[in-house]
Amino acid sequence: MENLKWKKLGIIFNPKKHETPEWMSEFAQAPHVLPFDNFFRVYFSCRPKPDANGQYVSYSAYVDLDANLNILAISPQPILALGQLGTFDEFGTYPVSVIKEGEEYRAYYAGWTRCDSVPFNTAIGFAKSSHPDAFERIGNGPLISYSQDEPFVISGPKIRRFNGQYYLFYIAGCKWVLDNGKPEPIYKIRLATSIDGIHFEKVNKNLIADKLSEDEAQASPDVIFKNGKYHMFFCYRGGKNYRGKENGYRIGYAHSTDLINWERNDDYVGIDVSSEGWDSEMISYPHVFEMAGKTYMFYLGNQVGKEGFGGAVLENELL
Amino acid sequence: MKWKRKGKLFDPTNFTLLNGCTEFAQSPQTIVFSDFIRIYFSTRNRDDRGEYISLITYIDMDLSMDKVLGQAEQEVIALGELGTFDEHGIFPISPFVDNNDIYAFTCGWSRRVSVPVETSIGVAISKDQGKTFQRLGNGPILSSSIHEPTLVGDGFVKKYNGVYHMWYIFGTEWIPKTSTEPVARVYKIGHATSTDIIHWEKEEGKQIIPDVLNKDECQALPSVVFHDGLYHMVFCFREATDFRKNPKRGYRLGYAFSKDLVNWIRNDSALADIANVGSDDWDTNMMCYPHLFSVNNKVYLLYNGNEFGKYGFGCAALID
From A138, which residue of chain B is nearest by alpha-carbon distance? B146
Check CB contact of A145 with chain B, cutoff 8 Å: yes
Check CB contact of A115 with chain B, cutoff 8 Å: yes
Check CB contact of A179 with chain B, cutoff 8 Å: no
ipTM here: 0.95
Three-state DSSP class for residue B67: coil
Q: What's the average model confidence in pLDDT over A265-294?
A: 97
Picking from A117, A145, A173, the nearest residue to B144 by CB comes out as A145
What is the rounded distance in angstroms from the CA atom of residue A247 to the CA atom of residue A84? 36
Percent of the residues in chain A that have a pLDDT greater than 90, as a whole number: 99
| Structure confidence at residue B320 (pLDDT) | 80
> Going by C-beta distance under 8 Å and a sequence separation of 6 or more, which residues neighbour residue B78?
B135
CB contact under 8 A, B83 and A123: no
CB contact under 8 A, A146 and B140: yes
Q: What's the average model confidence in pLDDT over A128-140?
A: 97
Check CB contact of B87 with chain A, cutoff 8 Å: yes
Which chain A residues contact residue B205 at CB under 8 A?
A: 139
Check CB contact of B307 with chain A, cutoff 8 Å: no
What is the rounded distance in angstroms from the CA atom of residue B139 to the CA atom of residue A146? 6
> For residue range A3-50, what is the model confidence (pLDDT) as tens digits?
999 999 999 999 999 999 999 999 999 999 999 999 999 999 999 999
What is the rounded distance in angstroms from the CA atom of residue A262 to the CA atom of residue A266? 12
Contact B269, B257 (CB under 8 A): no
Three-state DSSP class for residue A229: strand
Q: Which residues pair with A45 in a beta bridge?
A: A29, A60
CB contact under 8 A, A116 and B112: yes
| Structure confidence at residue B278 (pLDDT) | 64
Contact A56, A35 (CB under 8 A): no
> For residue range B223-237, what is the model confidence (pLDDT) as tens digits?
999 999 999 999 999
Amino acid identity, position A17 = K
Picking from B85, B123, B149, the nearest residue to A87 by CB comes out as B149
The overall average pLDDT reported for chain A is 97
B49, B53, B84, B125, best to mutate vs chain A, most A CBs in 10 Å: B84
Picking from B111, B138, B171, the nearest residue to A116 by CB comes out as B111
Q: Cα B70 to the chain's mean position, in Å? A: 22
Which chain B residues contact residue A123 at CB under 8 A?
A: 144
- Nearest CA to B120 out of B67, B159, B83 is that of B83
Check CB contact of A91 with chain B, cutoff 8 Å: yes
Amino acid identity, position A43 = Y
Check CB contact of A151 with chain B, cutoff 8 Å: yes
CB contact under 8 A, B83 and A143: no
From A152, which residue of chain B is nearest by alpha-carbon distance? B84
- Nearest CA to A95 out of A311, A310, A304 is that of A304
> Taking CA A180 as the corner, what is the angle to CA A179 and CA A184, rounded to the nearest 5 degrees?
25
- Nearest CA to A274 out of A243, A312, A306 is that of A312
Check CB contact of B137 with chain A, cutoff 8 Å: yes
| Structure confidence at residue B233 (pLDDT) | 98
**Polymer length of chain A:** 319
- In Å, how far is A132's CA from the nearest CA of chain B? 21
| Structure confidence at residue B16 (pLDDT) | 86
Rounded to the nearest 10°, the torsion over CA A89, A94, A95, A99 is 50
> For residue range B240-285, what is the model confidence (pLDDT) as tens digits?
999 999 999 999 999 999 999 999 999 999 999 998 766 778 999 9
CB contact under 8 A, A86 and B140: no
What is the rounded distance in angstroms from the CA atom of residue B235 to the CA atom of residue B289? 7
Which chain A residues contact residue B143 at CB under 8 A?
A: 145-147
Picking from A115, A126, A175, the nearest residue to B110 by CB comes out as A115
pTM of the model: 0.96
Contact B58, B76 (CB under 8 A): yes
- One pLDDT digit (tens) per residue for chain B, 320 residues: 999 999 999 999 998 888 788 889 999 999 999 999 999 999 999 888 889 999 999 999 999 999 999 999 999 999 999 999 999 999 999 999 999 999 999 999 999 999 999 999 999 999 999 999 999 999 999 999 999 999 999 999 999 999 999 999 999 999 999 999 999 999 999 999 999 999 999 999 999 999 999 999 999 999 999 999 999 999 999 999 999 999 999 999 999 999 999 999 999 999 999 987 667 789 999 999 999 999 999 999 999 999 999 999 999 999 98
CB contact under 8 A, A86 and B173: yes
Q: Cα B162 to the chain's mean position, in Å? A: 24
- Nearest CA to B56 out of B85, B21, B97 is that of B21
Three-state DSSP class for residue B209: coil
| Structure confidence at residue B277 (pLDDT) | 65
Contacting B residues, span 276-305, partner chain A, CB-CB under 8 Å: none
Q: What's the average model confidence in pLDDT over A211-236?
A: 97
Q: Which residues pair with B42 in a beta bridge?
A: B26, B56
Alpha helices in chain B (DSSP H): 306-309
Q: Which residues pair with A184 in a beta bridge?
A: A177
Check CB contact of A183 with chain B, cutoff 8 Å: yes
Check CB contact of A86 with chain B, cutoff 8 Å: yes
> Going by C-beta distance under 8 Å and a sequence separation of 6 or more, which residues neighbour residue A37?
none
Contact B253, B320 (CB under 8 A): no
* H or E element at residue B146: none
Contact B296, B236 (CB under 8 A): no
| Structure confidence at residue B281 (pLDDT) | 87
Which chain A residues contact residue B118 at CB under 8 A?
A: 86, 113
A55, A117, A152, best to mutate vs chain B, most B CBs in 10 Å: A152
Q: What's the average model confidence in pLDDT over A170-186?
A: 97
